[in-house]
Structure 1
Amino acid sequence: MTEQTAAPADTAVPVTGPIPPAPQDPPALPAQDPAPAAPRPPRRVLWAVLRWTAAVLVMGGLGAGTVAGITSMKRTDVPGLATKDDGRWDYPALTLPALPADAPRPYSDSNIAEIHHADLRRLLLPAPAGATVDKELDGGWTDIARYASEYGKDDRADLTQHLKDSALRHIAARGWTMPDGTSSRVYLLQFNSVAYSTGFHDELYEDDSFPLPLDRTAGPVADPGWSSSDGTEATTVRVYTESETGAQEVRHAYVLAGDTVALLVQTRKDAAGAKAVPFHQAVVLQNQLLG
């Protein structure tokens, strides 16, 4: 028998039979696709959106600017909204003059005599825009003779004497002429108290309805266009026109306001005559300054 010898330990022993497969890594999981991105709008759509946005912003800005411009304009400056001229004159803004220290208003409870303590000249109605101011009646003081010249020649002497005998303090006056030829004169006669001013006011009336006629007039009649509601509670306002008009039309009014009597006169020497609207406007404004 043949002896078999053992192979050395470090000698490779051939392996017979099938070879097992080498171990393999576990199969990798399939990679997940990233979430699909939102589809981009076409470039034309983007430009359209941008254009419309810009247009809206521009129109909004123009609209706001237009509104701001209109609200800052006068009504007569806005096309289509201009107020039709009704004949009123353009007066400067009226303001009451400051009173001396501790002086009461003319109609306050502590002012029984109803004295206007403000400078009487500052209470005169100012001349409107476009007027030519009378150099003799420029808003300062005037005398009795100038005031009496507004009345008929037969009445001036008695009127002058009455004023000299009364407690008249002074007379302020202003006159002007408008481009259409309308002449206006305003006189403020201030007395020592309301008692004296009321006495003179009543003396001007021949009866309870009509006052002493002015110079070169056909006789006064109550102005049918005047409303008593246009006055103030503290004053008495009476407005007159002529019963007949001749070469000129004369309108006049009296305002009894505390210690002061105002006479307003407007005349115009043509067929159109003195217009009612500007005269009533002057009476209302002068009454507001005194009342």
Structure 2
Amino acid sequence: MSETEQSTPREQPPAPEALETTEAPAPEATADAVPDATAPAKVRKPRKPRPVLAAVARWTAAVVVCGGLATGTAAGITAMDRGDVPGLETEDDGRWQYPKLSLPQLPQGSPRPFTPGNDGEVHHADLRRLVLPAPAGARVDPKRNGGWASVDDYLSLYKKGERDDLRQAIDESALRHVAARSWTMPDGTKSAVYLLRFKSVGFSEAFKDDALDAGSEGSVPLDGVGSIERESIAAHVRVPGTALYALAEKKPYGAEQTRWAYIQAGDTLALVVQSRKGGVETVPFRQTVILQTQLLG
């Protein structure tokens, strides 16, 4: 998680109008009203409780007690996590357990990338703070643990025959920084996230469109990848200011399949890559792409 998971203050709702209050009319005098203090007091015999009224009172008390118990039970359930309620456990759908994400603090007076006045759509936060953290259970590559990465490291993801042209495009595109993180999950899925920050959104888009051709099946292939097909993942990601291009290796592929996505977010272009023997699972791939997009949006 692509400054940013993590806001323009909202307008406060108008204060509610004061409720009108009226004084209740004084009760009219009745035959049972308290007599004048100077009059002799009347002694009344205590009435015996009526059987019907007594029964109603008992049932009313029972309903109140049961209602209170029901309310307490409902409050207890709503306060619990869904997985803690017996019979309502959420079945594991394959998602990874990422740590809670938050947007890094911006330097004093710096705007967010997609706010008015930031024409270059520049991310002013530390780029390394925008790289998605590894999920629980991952074995993180110590050489790519969210720090700065070299251009050669980034280019090593592509086929050798494409690297010289990409290097020249990078030299001409005012690239400022590269940050990266990679990890391996217990099921063998290998993931890598690279963030490339350019001088402005114009340079970032030019590299994505002209050098990488990221939005088509003719995109520059990654190393070890055969034929390519596009994936319809953008419908699952709605982050204002960002654009998403997802690609996958077609069958038949070799020992493992590779899936990757480019995330265009202002001056920053992200590359998320996953590969796995037998095929990359859809849920964790989309989850990883979505979270990285949110961090950059």
The residue correspondences of 1:171-250 to structure 2 (distance < 5 A) are 171-202=178-209, 203-205=211-213, 208-223=216-231, 225-228=232-235, 230-244=237-251, 245-250=253-258
Q: Is 1:281 paired with 2:276?
A: no
Deviations 1:166-188 (A, max 9, x none): 31111011112222111111000
- Of the two structures, which has the highest relative contact order with CA contacts closer than 8 Å and spacing of 6 or more? 2
Unaligned runs of 5+ residues in structure 1 are: 1-33
Residue 96 of structure 1 pairs with residue 103 of structure 2:
yes
Computing the radius of gyration from Cα coordinates, the structure with the larger value is 1
Instruction: Return the TM-score normalized by structure 1.
Output: 0.76
Check 1:208–1:133 CA distance in 2 against 1; reply closer, same or farther (3 A cut).
Answer: closer
CA-based RMSD of the aligned residues comes to: 2.8
Equivalent position SS for 2:205: helix
Q: Aligned to 2:246, what secondary structure does the other structure show? A: strand
Q: Please report the TM-score for the alignment, with normalisation by the length of structure 2.
A: 0.75
Contact 1:168/1:189 (<8 A) preserved: yes
CA distance in 1, matches of 2:287, 2:185: 14
Matched residue pairs, number?
Answer: 251
Pick one of 123, 128, 132 that aligns with 2:130: 123
2:38 is aligned to none
C-alpha deviations, 1:84-124, integer Å up to 9, x for none? 22222222222111111111111122111111001111111
Q: Secondary structure at the match of 1:154?
A: helix
For 2:24, the equivalent position in structure 1 comes to none
Moved more, 248-257 or 83-92: 83-92
Given the superposition, is the C-alpha separation of residues 38 and 195 from structure 1 closer, same or farther in structure 2, using an over 3 Å criterion? closer
Take 1:187 and 1:168, find their aligned partners in 2: how far apart are those partners?
A: 13
Q: Structure 2 matches for 1:46-195, cutoff 5 A?
A: 62-195=69-202
- CA shift in 2, pair 1:228/1:38, >3 Å: closer
Q: Is the 8 A contact 2:217 2:228 kept in 1?
A: no
> Aligned partners of 2:207 and 2:234: how far apart in 1?
24
**8 Å CA contact 1:171, 1:187 repeated in 2:** yes
Deviation, 1:66, is: 2.5
Partners of 1:147 and 1:64 lie apart in 2 by: 58
Q: Percent identity?
A: 52
Gaps of 5+ in 2: 1-42
Shifted more, 54-63 versus 112-121: the winner is 54-63
The corresponding residue for 1:259 is 267
